[in-house]
Amino acid sequence: MSTYYLRVETHNRTRKILIDMAYLAKHNNIRLPKYYYEEGLYLPYKLDSNSITERYKLTKDKIIKEDDDHYFFKFPFKHSQVVDTAV
């Protein structure tokens, strides 16, 4: 499995946040520490192998559960759809 990054664009720069890959592989959910959450976070993905890159935005309404330290988001893709290039 490749390493996936969430991205956020601020001040004409793209910042990357590493996804907890061990949790993703076991639970098929994105576990994000609360201190990393901010408006504009997204996961780049492709609908199929030849399509244009889309953005899956991690918004507050997509949180499926939370604990004291983390937000949890559904991961609604096949792993082959996620753009894993850390550019």
pLDDT tens-digit readout, 2-47: 789 999 998 889 899 999 999 999 999 999 999 999 999 999 998 8
Give CA angle at 32 (1, 72), nearest 5°. Answer: 95
Instruction: Please report whether residue 26 resides in a domain.
Output: yes
Confidence of residue 77 (pLDDT cuts 50, 70, 90): confident
Instruction: Give the pLDDT of residue 87.
Output: 54
- Residue 1: per-residue pLDDT: 61
**Domain enclosing residue 56, as ranges:** 5-81
71 pLDDT above the threshold of 90: yes
In a domain, 86, yes or no: no
What is the total count of domains within the chain?
A: 1
Does 60 reside within a domain?
yes
pLDDT at 18: 92
In whole angstroms, how far apart are CA 35 and each of 17, 68, 76? Answer: 11, 11, 23
87 in any annotated domain: no
Assigned domain for 32 exists = yes
Q: What is the pTM of this model?
A: 0.86
27 Cα distance to chain centroid: 14
Tell me whether residue 40 is in a domain: yes
